[in-house]
Amino acid sequence: MKILFWGTPAYALASLDALVAAGHELVGVVSQPDRRRGRGSALIPSAVKARALELGLPVFTPERIRREPALQGELAALGADAYVVVAFGQILPPEVLVQPPLGCWNGHGSLLPRWRGAAPIQWALLEGDSQTGVGIMAMEEGLDTGPVLLQRSLKIGLLENAEQLAIRLAELSSSLLVEALPRIEAAGPGTEQQRWERLKLMPQSDEGVTYARMLSRDDRRIDWQQSGLAIHRQVMGLYPGAWTQWRQRRLQILASEPLVRRLAERLSPEGQAAALRLGLPSGNVSGVADASDNQARPAAGRVLEVIEGVGLVISTGGCPLLIRTAKLEGRGVASGTSLIQQCDATIGEQLGETGTISA
| CA–CA distance, 272 with 172 (Å, rounded to integer) | 31
Name, in order, each residue with C-beta under 8 angstroms of 69's C-beta and a sequence gap of 6 or more: 95
Question: Could you tell me what percent of the chain has a pLDDT over 70?
Answer: 93
Whether 173 and 181 have beta carbons less than 8 Å apart is answered as no
What dotted CATH number matches 217-343? 3.10.25.10
CB 318 within 8 A of CB 228: yes
Instruction: Judge residue 10's burial from the number of C-beta atoms within 10 Å of its C-beta, 0-12 exposed, 13-18 middle, 19 or more buried.
Output: middle
Question: pLDDT tens, 155-213?
Answer: 999 999 999 999 999 999 999 999 999 999 999 999 999 999 999 999 999 999 999 99
All CATH 3.10.25.10 domain ranges in the chain, comma separated: 217-343
Q: Give the tens place of pLDDT for each residue, 39-89.
A: 778 899 999 999 999 999 999 999 999 999 999 999 999 999 999 999 999
The average pLDDT across 325-333 equals: 96
Beta strand pairing call for 104-108 and 131-138: antiparallel
Residues of the chain with CATH 3.40.50.170: 2-212
Assigned CATH class of 2-212: alpha beta
Residues 6+ apart with CB under 8 A from 314: 224, 228, 301, 302, 303, 304, 320, 321, 322, 323, 351
Query: Beta partners for 97?
Result: none
